[in-house]
């Protein structure tokens, strides 16, 4: 009984009510506006110089790399021009020591090496050909540029972008911490290491994963009005949306084409409300904050995204376990234990290690509807080294996990609601009754059961949206960052031919309409 009451008390602290949602949406809109007016605000609202989204007719072979979470991905993408693409990719986990390396060079050298391996594995002919050319042509000017792969670099950290392939790192997030890289041009850092290995690759475009997701969604989405938002709910969280140029009041450093009247803005919403005007804060959020490498930053992200939810759950679980008034994952419970054996937490359990609990266990807990919670109990044993957990304990764990996940989903809805309201699309007379399309990616939206439906449920109680929430289509856009980066790289390539053309996405629209293709191409759907 004590366990049930304590669990309920914890669950209550993660409640984010309808009123809380509405208050937070208003504050989000206020902070969005502030970010459009000046630099240095908590919601950065970074202009991307992308002034339109693709229409699906773009073609060509490009490379893309993606750095932004636990993995580094290298891919080549064939844009087929009929809303579809084919791609090949390699994925490798980023060694932990490189995420906190002394110098940026160590990390970028590793990335360049992975690019080399990918080329050797999947494009060996081009690679060998390039090496032969280098050996036979004495002057580097002798190489013809068109033999070089154009690569989009999806770099998913806050960057002050000053050109299509130029941008300086503002700060690291998501567990990366290499102070040496802050303030440096990340494209130049990567190109330097690529050149050291003599690879036939040019870093042609710098792209945030949310911008890539928005581009990819627009390329593959059947919605004739394109998408208005690309959002990530994965290791980190962020969104990029299409804003009216007239609302963008702060100065822009680079050139851009203003004919579309719009620009894609990278909100960097992970840092929404760093000042904690409306974000909920439990004592476990505080504890996480103290142990984080960037206290005071990414306050919204720390309540919403995959890198952090597992840690909140770990902190709560440990506290409940240590509560002398409650029997939770403890020996005393063995008499009630339906397994008939003693519950033991291994000394080596991830529960005892800061950041040791992977958020994926929350998906297992959420998905487990078995009367004995078998899958969750197996995972508690295998992943958390809690042996012979009782049914009651697993149930308490599931309820706490659900409360943390539900708060995250409702907070996610706050950002989506604010962006939808800001764009005014629901009230656009030209779109009456039509779907408003949003592309999302990331482990939470992909794997956490019900994450999207909890978002929709919260949208329905948001003032200014209500039942129109049914018109908001939240579609999974997988590998968006790769395809989106390729799309921007394709425009960058066309800009090289005509340097006076700065509307590099608008330019995409004018590329030759594709012949209908008979190949079994992969079109992203959903």
Closest residue to ligand BGC, judged by C-beta, is 236
Q: CA 473 to CA 438: how far, in whole Å?
A: 6
Asked whether position 68 contacts ligand BGC by CB under 6 A, the answer is: yes
Closer of 172 and 504 to ligand BGC (Cβ): 172
Closer of 68 and 152 to ligand BGC (Cβ): 68
Q: 171, 217, 377, 406: which is the annotated catalytic residue? A: 171
Asked whether position 494 contacts ligand BGC by CB under 6 A, the answer is: no
Task: For the segment 151-190, give every residue that binds ligand BGC (CB under 6 A).
Answer: 156-158, 173-174
Q: CA 502 to CA 435: how far, in whole Å?
A: 31
| 171 annotated active-site | yes
Asked whether position 444 contacts ligand BGC by CB under 6 A, the answer is: no
201 CB-contact burial (10 Å; exposed 0-12 / middle 13-18 / buried 19+)? buried
Residue 383 dihedral angles phi and psi, to the nearest 5° = -90, -35
Residue 265 dihedral angles phi and psi, to the nearest 5° = -115, 130
Q: CA 68 to CA 50: how far, in whole Å?
A: 20
Any bridge partners for residue 167, and if so which?
A: 161
Residue from 58, 243, 273, 301 binding ligand BGC (CB under 6 A): 301
DSSP secondary structure letters along 340-392:
SS--EE-TT-GGGSTT-S-THHHHHHHH---TT-HHHHHHHHHHH-EES--HH
In this chain, which stretch among 32-40, 93-101, 207-215, 394-402 interacts with ligand BGC, using CB under 6 A? 207-215
Asked whether position 201 contacts ligand BGC by CB under 6 A, the answer is: no
Q: Is 450 left (phi over 0), alpha (psi -120 to 50) or beta?
A: left
Asked whether position 123 contacts ligand BGC by CB under 6 A, the answer is: no
Closer of 80 and 309 to ligand BGC (Cβ): 309
| 437 annotated active-site | no
Per-residue burial over 345-375, b if 16 or more Cβ lie within 10 Å, else e, is: beeebbbeeeeebbbbbbbbbbebeeeebee
Asked whether position 232 contacts ligand BGC by CB under 6 A, the answer is: yes
Closer of 76 and 156 to ligand BGC (Cβ): 156
Asked whether position 285 contacts ligand BGC by CB under 6 A, the answer is: no
Residue 95 dihedral angles phi and psi, to the nearest 5° = -55, 135
In this chain, which stretch among 19-27, 231-239, 341-349, 426-434 interacts with ligand BGC, using CB under 6 A? 231-239
| 156 annotated active-site | yes
Asked whether position 328 contacts ligand BGC by CB under 6 A, the answer is: no
Asked whether position 306 contacts ligand BGC by CB under 6 A, the answer is: no
* Interface size with ligand BGC, residues (CB under 6 A): 17
Closer of 152 and 506 to ligand BGC (Cβ): 152
3-state secondary structure of 493: helix
Asked whether position 47 contacts ligand BGC by CB under 6 A, the answer is: no
Residue from 42, 48, 57, 238 binding ligand BGC (CB under 6 A): 238
Q: 20, 66, 185, 209: which is the annotated catalytic residue? A: 209
Q: How far is the CB of 232 from ligand BGC (least distance, A)?
A: 4
Q: CA 432 to CA 429: how far, in whole Å?
A: 5
Assess contact for 504 and 495: CB atoms under 8 A: yes
How far CA 377 is from CA of 250, 333, 336, 339, 353, in Å, comes to 53, 15, 15, 11, 20
Asked whether position 209 contacts ligand BGC by CB under 6 A, the answer is: yes
Asked whether position 270 contacts ligand BGC by CB under 6 A, the answer is: yes
Assess contact for 272 and 292: CB atoms under 8 A: no
In this chain, which stretch among 208-216, 222-230, 330-338, 482-490 interacts with ligand BGC, using CB under 6 A? 208-216
In this chain, which stretch among 136-144, 232-240, 282-290, 375-383 interacts with ligand BGC, using CB under 6 A? 232-240
Asked whether position 210 contacts ligand BGC by CB under 6 A, the answer is: yes
Asked whether position 273 contacts ligand BGC by CB under 6 A, the answer is: no
Asked whether position 405 contacts ligand BGC by CB under 6 A, the answer is: no
Residue from 45, 51, 76, 208 binding ligand BGC (CB under 6 A): 208
DSSP secondary structure letters along 144-164:
-GGGSEEEEEEE-S-EEEEET
User: Quick one: which of 69, 83, 21, 400 has its CA closest to 221?
Assistant: 83
Assess contact for 62 and 77: CB atoms under 8 A: yes
Q: How far is the CB of 210 from ligand BGC (least distance, A)?
A: 5
Asked whether position 506 contacts ligand BGC by CB under 6 A, the answer is: no
Q: What are the residues binding ligand BGC (CB under 6 A)? A: 68, 156-158, 173-174, 208-210, 232, 234, 236-238, 268, 270, 301
Which residues are known to be catalytic? 156, 171, 209
């Amino acid at each position: 009984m004590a366990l049930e009451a304590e669990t309920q008390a914890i669950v209550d602290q993660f409640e984010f009510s309808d009123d809380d949602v509405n208050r937070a949406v208003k504050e989000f809109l206020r902070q969005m506006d502030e970010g459009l007016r000046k630099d240095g605000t908590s919601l950065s609202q970074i202009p991307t110089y992308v002034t339109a989204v693709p229409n699906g007719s773009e073609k060509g072979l490009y490379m893309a790399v993606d750095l932004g979470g636990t993995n580094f991905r290298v891919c080549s993408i064939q844009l087929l021009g009929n809303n579809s693409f084919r791609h090949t990719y390699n994925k490798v986990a980023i060694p932990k020591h490189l995420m906190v390396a002394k110098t940026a060079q160590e990390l970028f050298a590793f990335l360049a090496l992975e690019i080399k391996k990918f080329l050797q594995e999947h494009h060996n002919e081009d690679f060998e050909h390039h090496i032969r050319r280098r050996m036979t042509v004495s002057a580097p000017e002798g190489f013809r540029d068109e033999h070089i792969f154009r690569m989009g670099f999806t770099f998913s950290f806050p960057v002050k972008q000053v050109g299509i392939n130029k941008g300086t790192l503002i700060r690291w997030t998501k567990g990366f911490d290499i102070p040496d890289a802050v303030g440096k041009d990340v494209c130049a850092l990567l190109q330097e290491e690529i050149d050291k290995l003599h690879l036939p690759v040019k870093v042609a475009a710098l792209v945030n994963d949310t911008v890539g997701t928005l581009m990819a969604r627009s390329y593959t989405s059947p919605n004739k009005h394109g998408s208005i938002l690309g959002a990530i709910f994965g290791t980190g969280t962020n969104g990029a949306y299409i804003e009216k140029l007239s609302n963008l009041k702060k100065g822009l450093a680079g050139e851009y084409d203003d004919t579309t009247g719009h620009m894609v803005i990278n909100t960097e919403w992970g840092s929404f409300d760093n000042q904690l005007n409306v974000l909920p804060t439990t004592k476990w959020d505080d504890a996480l904050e103290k142990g984080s490498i960037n206290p005071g930053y990414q306050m919204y992200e720390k309540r919403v995204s995959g890198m952090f939810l597992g840690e909140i759950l770990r902190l709560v679980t440990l506290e409940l376990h240590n509560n002398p008034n409650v029997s939770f994952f403890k020996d005393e419970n063995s008499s009630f234990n339906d397994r008939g054996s003693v519950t033991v937490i291994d000394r080596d359990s991830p529960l005892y290690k800061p950041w040791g609990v992977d958020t994926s266990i929350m998906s297992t807990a959420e998905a487990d509807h078995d009367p004995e919670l078998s899958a969750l109990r197996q995972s508690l044993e295998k992943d958390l080294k809690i042996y012979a957990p009782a049914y009651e304990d697993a149930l308490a764990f599931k309820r706490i996990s659900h409360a943390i996940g539900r708060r995250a989903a409702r907070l996610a809805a706050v950002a989506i609601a604010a962006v939808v309201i800001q764009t005014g699309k629901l009230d656009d007379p030209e779109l009456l009754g039509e779907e408003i399309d949003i592309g999302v990616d990331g482990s939470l939206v992909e794997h956490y059961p019900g994450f999207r439906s909890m978002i929709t449920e919260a949208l329905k109680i948001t003032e200014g949206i209500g039942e129109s929430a049914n018109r908001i289509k939240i579609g999974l856009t997988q590998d968006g960052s790769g395809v989106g980066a390729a799309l921007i790289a394709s425009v960058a390539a066309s800009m090289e031919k005509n340097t006076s053309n700065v509307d590099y996405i608008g330019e995409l629209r004018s590329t030759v309409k594709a012949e209908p293709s008979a190949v079994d191409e992969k079109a992203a759907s959903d």
